[in-house]
Amino acid sequence: MTNNIVIGAGISGLSFGYFSKKPFIVFEKENIVGGLCKSVKDNGFTFDYSGHFIHIKEKKIKSLIEKLIGKKLLKVNRNSVILFDNKIIPFPFQANLYYLNERQKQKCIDGIKKRKNIKIYNNMPFIDWAKAMFGDGITNYFMQPYNKKLWNCSLKKLTAEWTAPFVPKPSQEEIIKSAYNKNEQNYGYNSVFYYPQKNGCQEMINGFYKKIKSNVIKSTKVYSIDIQNKRILAGNKYYFYDNIISTQPLKELLSSIKNLPKEISSLIKKLECTSTRCINLGIKYKKNLPERIKDVHWIYVPEKKYPFYRVGIYSNVSKSLAPKNCYSLYIELSNKQNCENIIPLLKKTGIMNDTDEVISINVIDMKYAYVLFNKERTALLNKIFKFLKDNNIYCIGRYGSWEYSFIEKNIIDAKNLAEILNKTK
Ligand SMILES: Cc1cc2nc3c(=O)[nH]c(=O)nc-3n(C[C@H](O)[C@H](O)[C@H](O)COP(=O)(O)OP(=O)(O)OC[C@H]3O[C@@H](n4cnc5c(N)ncnc54)[C@H](O)[C@@H]3O)c2cc1C
């Protein structure tokens, strides 16, 4: 009988287990399952690891989640905005020039008209891609400062490979038109998203977990992998395997393999990523929700003077996430050092009222947040995954596959791998 060992009980590991028809064990180092899709409860608030909203393209995935949690998901029409020049303007910047002042509009229009006619390709430096796609004005006002904050690295080093589903690309005509007429079009992969009615993202995790609970061993870290003898050390015991399904960050997986060949171990340091600090705030208001954030789900904050790059309003997605007369925020930073004065800054920008009182604070550091797309990444990954597959180790998930993915893709990839391994003898 095939014996599959899964490392990690985040959405990827739990989904793999759910679709698996072969014997398997999932080891999870934490005492709670869910990985980055966990939720935290405090003082009547439910917080996620910053916004974890479920964007779904495949109806089957939505039905599966609804079946597992036993309830319909909330359907939410995204309202995301940008804080720019002390104004709130709709997302995306490049399709909403209408809200800029005349000088800013002109710079954006001149920029897009005067773009150099250069070849656009996926793994070109992001900054060159942004200028070639949108021109200097839009790049200088939004693309450059926002992405500099998010990725916390040189935008020459970062390639444009990740942009495909995530950065809306209106045509030159649409961009220029948006300077004179309000844009009515919904751009982006997440213009509609879904979310559990209560208990945060953890509700989805619990749905999967319930089905495979008896196969999950919590508080047990996989420390090392011996590929010669096909056994792992998990907790203080050895287990033999036929296949390993890893959702743990690829860097850590490779470091845990004994006698890793030099040509693979030398690649580990080239796998780079960003970290994110998420500050969750539960807030009681005196009179009303701040006017600026009414009905808003999240705010992109490109300007350098603010240390955070995004602020979200959980309680506008689901009222169940905050008690009466309260609201809840997540504030995301990719540079941990810079998180002083957050509350005065939120008040200054109107995201909080002056008289509002913070009654819950919860800080979450995500060591692995966005994997860095550099020029070498694809070639490195091909080499690494070939070596791992030759040794019956399969990687899935956002950090296992070392990619920019999201919940729906994680579930689909886990299902596809389970179906392949279900067929093996
Ligand atoms: C800031 C941020 C916001 C995001 N927002 C969204 C969103 O709105 N919508 C969306 O769809 N996606 C979002 N994502 C992406 C989403 O979080 C991931 O796609 C998803 O959580 C990946 O799940 P996973 O199971 O692959 O990995 P993880 O959630 O990282 O799970 C891996 C698990 O493995 C365990 N583990 C690691 N090493 C070991 C070991 N050695 N032994 C045992 N266990 C181990 C970990 O404890 C963890 O539980 C966001 C990500 C970030 C960083």
- Is the Cβ atom of 290 under 6 angstroms away from ligand 1? no
Give the dihedral sign, CA 87/338/202/232: positive
Residue 338 CA to ligand 1 center (angstroms) comes to 24
Mean pLDDT over 376-386 rounds to 97
What percent of the chain clears pLDDT 90, i.e. is strictly above it? 93
147 pLDDT higher than 80: yes
Q: Which phi and psi (to 5°) does residue 193 adopt?
A: -140, 170
- Is the Cβ atom of 28 under 6 angstroms away from ligand 1? yes
| pLDDT of 1 | 60
**CATH superfamily of this structure's domain 4-31+218-269+374-422:** FAD/NAD(P)-binding domain (3.50.50.60)
Ligand 1 atom with minimal separation from the 8 CA:
34
- Is the Cβ atom of 248 under 6 angstroms away from ligand 1? yes
Cα distances (angstroms) measured from residue 303 to each of 116, 169, 283, 322: 26, 21, 24, 29
What percent of the chain clears pLDDT 70, i.e. is strictly above it? 99
Q: Which phi and psi (to 5°) does residue 30 adopt?
A: -85, 170
Mean pLDDT over 297-323 rounds to 97
| pLDDT of 425 | 78
Residue 35 CA to ligand 1 center (angstroms) comes to 5
CA distance linking residue 13 with residue 395, whole number of Å: 10
Mean pLDDT across the chain, nearest whole number? 96
Mean pLDDT over 161-172 rounds to 93
| pLDDT of 106 | 97
| pLDDT of 400 | 98
pTM tops 0.85, yes or no: yes
* Residue given tokens 């796609």 in the structure block: 133
CA distance linking residue 144 with residue 38, whole number of Å: 31
Summarised one tens digit per residue, pLDDT across range 36-93 is: 999 999 999 999 999 999 999 999 999 999 999 999 999 999 999 999 999 999 999 9
Cα distances (angstroms) measured from residue 300 to each of 53, 79, 270, 310, 386: 16, 11, 29, 5, 38
State how far Cα 66 lies from the chain centre. 22
- Is the Cβ atom of 207 under 6 angstroms away from ligand 1? no
335, burial (CB in 10 Å: exposed 0-12, middle 13-18, buried 19+): middle
* CATH class in words for 92-177: mainly alpha
Q: Rounded to the nearest 10 degrees, how much is the dihedral formed by the CA atoms of 177, 182, 184, 189?
A: 70
419 pLDDT higher than 80: yes
Summarised one tens digit per residue, pLDDT across range 279-297 is: 999 999 999 999 999 999 9
CA distance linking residue 90 with residue 70, whole number of Å: 35
Ligand 1 atom with minimal separation from the 55 CA:
11
pLDDT bracket for residue 2 (50, 70, 90): low
130 pLDDT higher than 90: yes
What is the SS3 assignment for 250?
Answer: helix
Label the pairing between strands 357-366 and 393-395. Answer: unpaired
- Is the Cβ atom of 405 under 6 angstroms away from ligand 1? yes
For a mutational test of ligand 1's pocket, the pick from 149, 370, 398, i.e. the residue with the most ligand atoms closer than 8 A to its C-beta, is 398
Summarised one tens digit per residue, pLDDT across range 341-368 is: 899 999 999 999 999 999 999 999 999 9
CB-based contact 199:39 (threshold 8 Å): yes
Domains of the chain, residue spans: 4-31+218-269+374-422, 92-177
Mean pLDDT over 307-311 rounds to 96
- Pair of tokens at residue 103: 């000088």
CB-based contact 424:241 (threshold 8 Å): no
128 pLDDT higher than 80: yes
- Is the Cβ atom of 5 under 6 angstroms away from ligand 1? no
- Pair of tokens at residue 142: 């939004």
268 pLDDT higher than 70: yes
Residue 400 CA to ligand 1 center (angstroms) comes to 9
Helix 59-69 / helix 202-212 crossing angle, nearest 10 deg: 70
| pLDDT of 340 | 74
pLDDT bracket for residue 420 (50, 70, 90): very high
- Residue whose Cα lies nearest atom 27 of ligand 1: it is 10
| Of the candidates 210, 234, 220, the residue with the CA atom closest to the CA atom of residue 3 | 234
